[in-house]
A and B are shown apart, each in its own frame.
Chain A
Amino acid sequence: MTTVNEFSIEVATVNGSGSQTANNVLLRAIFQMGMPVSGKNFFPSNISGMPTWFQIRVSRKGYAARKPEIDLMVCLNPETAEQDLAKLPPGALCIYDEPLNLGGRRSDITAFGVPFQALVAASCPEMKYQRLVKNMVYVGVLVRLLGIEPEEAGRALGRLIKGKAEAMNRAAMDAGYQWALANLPDQGKLLVQRLPVEQERLLIDGNTACALGALFAGVTVVGWYPITPSTGVIESLTEYAHPYRTDPTTGASTIAILQMEDELASAGVVVGAGWAGARAMTATSGPGLSLMTEFIGLAYYAECPGVFVDVQRVGPSTGLPTRSSQSDIKLCAKASHGDTLHINLYPATMEECFRFTYDAFDLAERFQTPVFLVSDLDLGMQNWITSPFAYPEGKLDRGKVLDEAALKEVQAWGRYKDVDGDGIPYRTLPGTPGGKGAYLTRGSGHNAQAAYTENPAEFAEGILRLKRKILGAAPHLPLPIQVDNGAKRGVLAFGSSDPAVQEAMDILREAHQMPLNYMRVRALPFAEAVGDFLRSMEVVYVVEQNRDGQMAALLMEFFPQEAPRLRSVLHFDSTPITAQTIVDQILSQEM
C-alpha cells in the first residue's frame, strides 16, 4: 500500500448535500501544501439526493489520471455504503458515518466510525444548516488523519466559502478535527507532507480556462443554450465579462451573451454574427452539437467564421449527461450534411484549454470557417493544477477582410475567388461604405462571384477549394507533441487521455520493459508529423475514450497506407480512462 504523498481518497455522499464544496476545500488544502493533486467528481444527472462520489488523487509523481484503487474511503451515503466498502482493497482505511455500522464488516481494512450528526449538531445550532455543513466535518477528520496542515485547510475554506456560511463551515470542520484528535489513533499509512513548490501553480477547471481564452480573444457575440457539461464555459465567461468587458462609466457591454431558445438558434447566432464580422462563439455538448449541424454545414460552405466549444459527455442520445467521453470526435470532424472537414483543436491541459480557445478565434477568422474546441467533461468540469497561463501576445488575426479603402484598390473582387492560391478568399462585412463589396451569401450553389450557379464545374471547383483551404490549415494549427523513447512501437492519444497514457508508459517501461514512443495529436486536419510518426513505428496504439475508435478511423482516412499498423485501445464505460486499462489492452495485443 502506498503511503506518503501517493494515494487516493474517495468520498461517497449524496448530491445536493454541499459535499462538492467540502471536497474542494480538501483538494485545495492539499494543493496548497505543494502537492500534485487531482480531483474527479462523479455526479448524477439530478439536483439532489442521488449518490455521488469524489475522488482525490495525491501523487508525488504528478499522475493525474483516475486511479480506481482507493486507499481511503469516506462512507456517508447509506444507499451505497455496502458497495463502497466492498470495493476497497485489503489494507485500506475507511471513515464512515457511525449509524452505518460498518466497523468489523471487513477484517482486512481499518474502519473508523465518526458521529457526524452529533458533531454537526454541537457545532451548528441552526438546524436548517446542519445538513449543508455536515460534510465539512469529514474534511476536519481527514485533515487530522492525513496530517494536512490545519492552517492550509482554513485558508482553503476561506477561499471557497464566503459570508455567513464561512463561520458555520469553519466550526463544523473544527469539530471534525478536534474529534479526530481526541478519538483517532495516529496512522502512519497515508500522509500528506509538504513539498517545496518550485513553480507558481493554480487550480482551475477546463471550462473556466476556455472562457478565459475566449475573453482574451475578444469574443463579442455568444449564443448559447444550457447543457451539462458545457454550461460552465458560458457562466464563467459571463462572470469575467462583467469586470473586464463593461465600460465602468456607462455600464455598456462590449460583449453580447444571449441565452437562446435552443442550439439551432445558438448556432444561427454564431453564423449571423460571424458573417457580420463579430468574434462569435457557442459552447455545447453532444446533443446540442447534433442540433447545430445544419448551420455548421452552412457556415463551412458559405465560409462564415465561428467558434464551437464541444464539452463532450457520454452519448448516444442524452447518454450519461454527467459522465465524460471522447465520443464526438467524428461529429466534430465532419458535422454537417454533405462533404466537410472542420478544424478541430484537442486540448489536453488547462493551458491548452485557454490557449486553443484563444487561437480558435484567430483560426476561424483566418480560415473563414467553424472551428471546434473539442473538450470533455473530465477536462471541463474537474479541477486541475496548472502553471499560470502565459499572456497571448500579439494582435488578433482578423483574417482577410477588405474594408472600404482596400475595396477601392481592388479591381474585380469576388467573394469566393482564390486570389492567393491558398484557398482562402477575401471577405467583406455588411455595413462597409463606399458602394462596393456587397454580396448575397447563400448555402446553395455559388460561383467565385458569390452568384447562384448550378454549373457542375463551378460547383465542383468551389468545394475542392474548400478542401484545399482546410487542409492548408494544418501547419498553422497546434502541432503534435512527441516523446521519443527510442522505441519501435508507439502510442497515439489526444485530449484528456494524456495523463493516463503518460502513467501507462511509465508502467510499461518499468514493469514490462516495454518503452514506447508517444505522439499526442492536438489538431485536425493532421500535421505531416502525424503521418511521419505512423510511418516510423511498427505498431501504433491509438488510445481513445469511445467505442468505435473514431480517431483511429480519421487516421486511416488521412493515412490509409498506415492503417495496418494501427491498433485501438478503447475505453468507453463512462468513467475517465485509467493507466491500467491502457497497460492491459496494450499487453493483451502484444501477445
Chain B
Amino acid sequence: MSTSPTPTNQLGLTRQDYTGGKSTLCVGCGHEGITLQIIQAAFELGLESHQVAKLSGIGCSSKTPAYFLKNAWGFNSVHGRAAAVCTGVALANRSLKNLLVSGDGDSMSIGLNHFTHLIRRNVPVVYIIEDNGVYALTKGQFSATADQGSALRWGQVNELQPLDPCTLAMELGCGFVARSFSGNPKQLNTLLKAAFAHPGTAVLDVISPCVTWNNHESSTRSYQSAKNREIPLHELGFIPAFHTPQVDIPAGEAQEVAFPDGSRITFRTLHDDYDPSKLTEAWRLVHESRDRGELLTGLLYYQPGKPTIHEVMKTAPTPLTQLPQSALKPGPEALQEIMDELK
C-alpha cells in the first residue's frame, strides 16, 4: 500500500497539529463545519498556535475552542462578554492573534453592548458568530437573529424583527464584515484566511444550523433553507503573504485587494454592481436582499486602514506583558519628585 506523504505547511506542521480535543457537539451540528474550517485555515496560513488566543463566551458555539488549535491558549469565559476579555488580552499582549468564537445569543443579546464597543475600538480579532438563530445550549429558545416568521420546532413563531450582526457591524464602522454558511466550506475557508490578515476587528457571521433545535422545515436557519436561499456575492480567492503556487485564483476577471501583511484577496463578482468597498451601497443591497428572503454571502464590506486600538492608544510596540520591571516600576527619584510636589 503506497501512502502519499502527509501535507505540511510552511512551518512543517500537518493539519493534525491544528486540531483540538474531541467534540461533544451533536452529530451534524453546523458549528462543527466552522471548527473544521478554522483548523484548515490555520493550517494553510501556517499560524503559530501559541500566538493565537482563542476566546469565547458561553453556548454550544463557545465550547468549540476546545476542539481546535490544541496548542493555543484559550479562554471559555462568561456568557456574552468574551469581547471584553478579548480587549484585555489585546491590551496586555498585542502580539497575539485573537480568535473569538461566539453565538448569536452570546453576541446579539447579552453581549451586544460589548460587541458594539469592541468594533468601535477596532480591537484586533477575528470575531466569528456561529449563527443558528437559537439559544441552543439552553435548549432552543429564539435568539435575536431569528428571522421574523421563523418557527420553533414546537410551533412558536418569532414575531420580532431580527438583528443582523453584519449590517450592525457595518454601521459601527467595522473594517471587515463577512457572512458565510457552514455548508459552504470553500468560501468560509477563504474568508477566515482573509480575516486573519485584517489588522483590526473582522466580523464573520456564519450561518450554522443547529440540527437539534432549529433544522426543521418551518425554520429559516435549517441547512435546507440556507442552501436554497444562499447567493454568494463573489468567487473568492486568497493569496497569503508567503505566496505558494497551489493557491487557486478564480478564473475570469478578478479584482484584488491587498492586506497590510502583504496577503491579497481576489474576487470575481457574481452579483451585479456589488462593491464591498462602498459602505452605503453595500448596506442597502444586503438589506434589500434580506427583505427578499435571500441570504447574501461573501465579503460584505471591506475597508482597511482604520486605526486599531493600539494605534489610537499609542500602546508600546513591545507587548506590555513582556516589559521588564525597569520599564514598569519608576525609581525612587520619581516617587521623591511626586512627594515633593505634594508638600
| Partner-B contacts on A (CB < 8 A) | 200-204, 212, 215-218, 220-221, 223, 240, 244-245, 247, 250-256, 258, 260-262, 264-280, 294-295, 298, 302, 388-389, 391, 395-396, 428-435, 438-444, 451-452
Q: Are B88 and A280 in contact (CB under 8 A)?
A: yes
Q: Are A268 and B91 in contact (CB under 8 A)?
A: no
Residues of B40-99 whose CB lies within 8 A of A: 48-51, 53-55, 65-66, 70-78, 81, 83-89, 91-93, 95-96
Q: Are B113 and A220 in contact (CB under 8 A)?
A: no
CB nearest to A297 among chain B residues: B78
| Residues of chain B contacted by A252 (CB below 8 angstroms) | 314-317
16 extra interchain contacts, Cβ-Cβ under 8 A, other than A217-B329, A253-B315, A443-B77? A202-B339, A202-B342, A252-B316, A265-B83, A268-B81, A270-B88, A272-B89, A275-B75, A275-B85, A280-B92, A396-B329, A430-B50, A431-B53, A431-B73, A438-B50, A439-B74
Q: Are B328 and A396 in contact (CB under 8 A)?
A: yes
| Residues of chain B contacted by A253 (CB below 8 angstroms) | 313-316
The listed residue (B89, B321, B338) touching A220 by CB distance below 8 A is B321
4 closest pairs, A vs B, by CB?
A268-B84, A272-B88, A218-B328, A278-B92
| Residues of chain B contacted by A250 (CB below 8 angstroms) | 316
Q: Are A221 and B335 in contact (CB under 8 A)?
A: no
Q: Compute how far the CA of A256 lies from the CA of B121 in the bound complex, rounded to whole angstroms.
A: 13
| Residues of chain A contacted by B116 (CB below 8 angstroms) | 261
Please tell me if B251 contacts chain A, counting CB pairs below 8 Å: no
CB nearest to A388 among chain B residues: B339
Residues of B94-143 whose CB lies within 8 A of A: 95-96, 113-114, 116-117, 121
Please tell me if B332 contacts chain A, counting CB pairs below 8 Å: yes
The listed residue (B83, B89, B113) touching A275 by CB distance below 8 A is B89
Q: Are A258 and B328 in contact (CB under 8 A)?
A: no
Q: Are A258 and B78 in contact (CB under 8 A)?
A: no
Please tell me if B320 contacts chain A, counting CB pairs below 8 Å: yes
Distance to closest chain B CB from A408 (angstroms): 14
The listed residue (B49, B70, B117) touching A261 by CB distance below 8 A is B117
| Residues of chain B contacted by A280 (CB below 8 angstroms) | 88, 92
Please tell me if B319 contacts chain A, counting CB pairs below 8 Å: yes
Q: Is the interface of B mostly helix, strand, loop or mixed?
A: helix
Q: Compute how far the CA of A382 lies from the CA of B325 in the bound complex, rounded to whole angstroms.
A: 32
- Given the contacts A256-B315, A433-B50, A438-B71, A272 and B86 also touching, CB distance less than 8 Å: yes
| Residues of chain B contacted by A221 (CB below 8 angstroms) | 88, 91-92, 320
CB nearest to B335 among chain A residues: A391
Q: Are A276 and B96 in contact (CB under 8 A)?
A: yes
Distance to closest chain B CB from A157 (angstroms): 16
Please tell me if B27 contacts chain A, counting CB pairs below 8 Å: no
Distance to closest chain B CB from A59 (angstroms): 20
| Residues of chain B contacted by A391 (CB below 8 angstroms) | 332, 335-336
CB nearest to A439 among chain B residues: B73
Q: Are B321 and A429 in contact (CB under 8 A)?
A: yes
| Residues of chain A contacted by B88 (CB below 8 angstroms) | 221, 223, 268-276, 278, 280
Q: Compute how far the CA of A433 lies from the CA of B335 in the bound complex, rounded to whole angstroms.
A: 36
Q: Are A278 and B71 in contact (CB under 8 A)?
A: no
Q: Are A273 and B78 in contact (CB under 8 A)?
A: no
Q: Compute how far the CA of A429 lies from the CA of B338 in the bound complex, rounded to whole angstroms.
A: 34
A-B contacts, 26 listed (Cβ < 8 Å): A201-B343, A212-B338, A254-B323, A262-B113, A265-B81, A265-B117, A268-B77, A269-B91, A272-B75, A272-B92, A273-B88, A275-B89, A276-B93, A278-B320, A396-B329, A430-B96, A431-B95, A432-B50, A438-B71, A438-B72, A440-B66, A441-B73, A441-B77, A443-B76, A444-B76, A451-B21
The listed residue (A220, A251, A428, A438) touching B323 by CB distance below 8 A is A220
| Residues of chain A contacted by B1 (CB below 8 angstroms) | none
The listed residue (B76, B84, B315, B325) touching A396 by CB distance below 8 A is B325
- Given the contacts A202-B339, A216-B335, A295 and B78 also touching, CB distance less than 8 Å: yes
| Residues of chain A contacted by B245 (CB below 8 angstroms) | none
CB nearest to A268 among chain B residues: B84
Distance to closest chain B CB from A225 (angstroms): 11
Please tell me if B330 contacts chain A, counting CB pairs below 8 Å: yes
Contact size class for B?
35 or more
Q: Compute how far the CA of A277 lies from the CA of B319 in the bound complex, rounded to whole angstroms.
A: 10
| Partner-A contacts on B (CB < 8 A) | 21, 48-51, 53-55, 65-66, 70-78, 81, 83-89, 91-93, 95-96, 113-114, 116-117, 121, 309, 313-317, 319-321, 323, 325, 327-330, 332, 334-336, 338-339, 342-343
Q: Compute how far the CA of A571 lies from the CA of B131 in the bound complex, rounded to whole angstroms.
A: 53
Q: Are A256 and B313 in contact (CB under 8 A)?
A: yes
Q: Are A441 and B93 in contact (CB under 8 A)?
A: no
Q: Are B328 and A441 in contact (CB under 8 A)?
A: no
Q: Are A223 and B319 in contact (CB under 8 A)?
A: no
| Residues of chain A contacted by B74 (CB below 8 angstroms) | 438-441
Distance to closest chain B CB from A140 (angstroms): 24
CB nearest to A267 among chain B residues: B84
| Residues of chain B contacted by A278 (CB below 8 angstroms) | 88, 91-93, 320-321
The listed residue (B66, B87, B316) touching A254 by CB distance below 8 A is B316
Q: Are B332 and A247 in contact (CB under 8 A)?
A: no
CB nearest to B82 among chain A residues: A268
| Residues of chain A contacted by B66 (CB below 8 angstroms) | 440, 452
Distance to closest chain B CB from A194 (angstroms): 16
CB nearest to B343 among chain A residues: A202
CB nearest to A215 among chain B residues: B330
| Residues of chain B contacted by A269 (CB below 8 angstroms) | 84-85, 87-88, 91
| Residues of chain A contacted by B55 (CB below 8 angstroms) | 272
Q: Compute how far the CA of A269 lies from the CA of B123 in the bound complex, rounded to whole angstroms.
A: 12
| Residues of chain A contacted by B113 (CB below 8 angstroms) | 261-262, 264-265
Q: Compute how far the CA of A250 lies from the CA of B70 in the bound complex, rounded to whole angstroms.
A: 38
| Residues of chain B contacted by A202 (CB below 8 angstroms) | 339, 342-343
Distance to closest chain B CB from A276 (angstroms): 4
Q: Are A431 and B71 in contact (CB under 8 A)?
A: no
| Residues of chain A contacted by B89 (CB below 8 angstroms) | 272-273, 275-276, 430
| Residues of chain B contacted by A203 (CB below 8 angstroms) | 342
| Residues of chain A contacted by B72 (CB below 8 angstroms) | 430, 438
Q: Are A272 and B84 in contact (CB under 8 A)?
A: yes
| Residues of chain B contacted by A268 (CB below 8 angstroms) | 77-78, 81, 83-85, 87-88, 114
Q: Compute how far the CA of A223 lies from the CA of B89 in the bound complex, rounded to whole angstroms.
A: 11
Q: Are B53 and A276 in contact (CB under 8 A)?
A: yes
CB nearest to B87 among chain A residues: A269
| Residues of chain B contacted by A251 (CB below 8 angstroms) | 314
| Residues of chain A contacted by B48 (CB below 8 angstroms) | 433
Q: Are A216 and B84 in contact (CB under 8 A)?
A: no
| Residues of chain B contacted by A212 (CB below 8 angstroms) | 335, 338
| Residues of chain B contacted by A432 (CB below 8 angstroms) | 50
Distance to closest chain B CB from A24 (angstroms): 13
The listed residue (A261, A271, A389, A441) touching B114 by CB distance below 8 A is A261
Q: Are A218 and B329 in contact (CB under 8 A)?
A: yes
Q: Compute how far the CA of A477 lies from the CA of B116 in the bound complex, rounded to whole angstroms.
A: 40
| Residues of chain A contacted by B309 (CB below 8 angstroms) | 258
Q: Compute how far the CA of A203 lies from the CA of B330 in the bound complex, rounded to whole angstroms.
A: 21
CB nearest to B310 among chain A residues: A256
Q: Are B75 and A441 in contact (CB under 8 A)?
A: yes
